[in-house]
Chains A and B, each alone.
Chain A
Amino acid sequence: MTPPPGQESALALPAPGLRHEDEDRSADRSRVHRARQGRRRWLLLWLLVGPGILAMLGENDGPSMISYATTGATYGLGTFLPFTVLTFAMAIVCQEMVMRIGAVTHRGYGQLVLERFGRVWGWFNAGDLVLTNLVTLVAEFVAIRVGLAYFHMSAGLAAALGIVLVVCTISGGRYWRWERIVLGLAAFNGLFLLAALLSHPRWSAVGHAFITASPLPHGSLNMLLLLVASTVGATVTPWMIFFQQSASADKGLTPDDLSHGRWDTIVGGALAALFGCGAMIAGAVLATHGGASIQGLAGAGFPAALARSSGGTVATLFALGLIESGAVAILTISASTGYAAAECIGAPHSMNYSARSAVVFYGVNVGAAAIAAAIILIPGAPLLSIALNANVLATVLLPVALVFVIMLVNDRQLMGSFVNGRRHNVVAVLIAAFVGLSGAAYAIDAFLRTAHVI
């Protein structure tokens, strides 16, 4: 399907029948071509990064950061710190595969599963995505609401902020513009690292945790399984798979760009791990204060608890970080929902289209965010439970998506010489099995306890 690396096929040839989407993408690719010809390495990297960093920092979302901070507050600094880094290493392996599929086939994940394996599997995958995305989007609005509540701002403002952001960012009609705006916002995920630095953690304990992966967590098995499942769900999720493959294709990546795509994914994963550990270290300060005050999540519990233990600056940074992480995730997750829905029904699905030319893509994009925003405005809605269960549901549904990724990336008819090697496959299968076991262990244990069987 694609020429071997190093042989760009149609460079600068006149093409009379380009669609609008092609023209915009071709304009972006012309800059990549010039940077590559002029051997301007840093400019080339700047032009080609985006989908990987956005997928990784987008997954450092509201519920994930709350989950990391909860883990820190519950268990202090110990096994979960290196475990978080390990889960991001797993995410890098998974996301590199979908980036490669997108760059080689130029098709999104939803479209490829539907066409290659049939409508049943295509719609099952899209259904899983829409379900987890809606739940996760609600959790993102909860995160914004928690952050704003610290500054005494209302839930209505949180809902409006999310919707306005989605509408403003997609109104440009260019993938490049959308990507750069969201990347700019995602840079503020570093606020969690700043919060960790200012909370004056015991660095010897941080170093000890990384080197020895101890002390081991204590407490109930169910709580431990919940935190393992939600930590896994905080780093590898179905929407990331849909998003990075579709965005790589929409950006116009080709097999020539694979090494830059890998750096994009690795840098994104490293930054996300760093900032995620920052949230955990900031939260760990609460472990010595009993961690009890974090329970009032719906009432801005975390920032308020941090204000008491670490001071107003750390609390403000944490609250701003929650607003940022929720906002970026709303943009990327609603985009992945739009990509999936439009790909599955064969409608135009590119940020390079105008709103009028891609009604389904943009409609689902805004609609998903609007539904989630409406839910957080319902009086008495179980926002805390939704936020805590969003990552677990994603973990439970992820193995199916990972199995299809592994099947697609090993499909020689689609991928040619870009299929996985044997070692890569062994690692990918182990990751899928680990994710499946994590989700299943929590689901079965929690179900049996709730049903009073054990």
Chain B
Amino acid sequence: MYQRDEVLPNYLEADQLAAETSRPVPRARLGRRAVVGLWALRVLVVILSAMVVYVFVSQLGP
């Protein structure tokens, strides 16, 4: 953090300052259902992405 000699006016909100936004927000508590849902979606997306990549690679063939 560097300081200037003169005092500058601040037009930022208190929680907008870089020192404040670099402080982490508290961790959310996810329920079991939410965690299972997120993992199911993640696995599905990985499988679908693999399918798209497979199709893409197949299109490269002669």
Q: What CA separation (Å) do A446 and B57 show in the bound complex?
A: 12
Question: From residue A318, how far is it (CB to closest CB) to chain B in Å?
Answer: 25
Interface residue tally for chain B (C-beta within 8 Å): 42
Cβ B27 vs Cβ A447 within 8 A: no
**Bound complex: CA A105 to CA B17 (Å):** 11
Residue of B nearest to A353 (CB): B18
Question: In the complex, are the beta carbons of B18 and A121 less than 8 A apart?
Answer: no
Measured in the bound complex, the distance between the Cα atoms of B42 and A106 in whole Å is 27
A12–B51 touching, CB < 8 Å: no
Contact in complex: B28, A411 (CB < 8 Å): yes
Known pairs A17-B3, A22-B18, A400-B42; A414 contacts B25 (CB<8 A): yes
With a cutoff of 8 Å between Cβ atoms, the chain A residues found around residue B1 in the complex are 17, 19
Asked if A443 meets B52 with Cβ closer than 8 Å, knowing A115-B24, A116-B28, the reply is: yes
- With A29-B12, A400-B45, A444-B51 known as contacts, the answer to whether A17 contacts B19 (CB < 8 A) is yes
Contact code string B23-62 (vs A, CB < 8 Å = 1, else 0):
0111110100000001001101100110111111011100
Nearest CB of A to B59, in Å:
5
Interface residues of A in 393-433 (CB under 8 A from B): 393, 396-397, 399-400, 403, 407, 411, 413-414
Flag the segment in A2-10, A49-57, A296-304 that touches B. A2-10
A229 CB to nearest B CB, Å: 9
In the complex, what distance in Å separates the CA atom of A128 from the CA atom of B48? 13
- From B24, B30, B41, A399 is in contact (CB under 8 Å) with B41
- Tell me how far the C-beta of B3 lies from the nearest C-beta in chain A, rounded to whole angstroms: 6
B39 to chain A, nearest CB (A): 10
Residues of A within 8 A of B11 (CB): 10-12, 26-27, 29-30, 32-33
Contact at B26–A450, with CB atoms within 8 Å?
Answer: no
Answer yes or no: A385 CB below 8 A from chain B CBs. yes
State whether A23 touches B8 (Cβ < 8 A). yes
Residues of B within 8 A of A23 (CB): 4, 8
A252 to B26, CA, bound (A): 22
Q: Is A107 an interface residue (CB 8 A)?
A: yes
| Chain B residues in the interface with A (C-beta under 8 A) | 1-4, 7-22, 24-28, 30, 38, 41-42, 44-45, 48-49, 51-56, 58-60
Q: Interface of A with B (CB < 8 Å)?
A: 1-3, 8-23, 25-27, 29-30, 32-33, 105-107, 112, 115-118, 121, 124, 128, 249, 252, 254, 346, 350, 382, 385, 389, 392-393, 396-397, 399-400, 403, 407, 411, 413-414, 439-440, 442-444, 446-447, 450-451
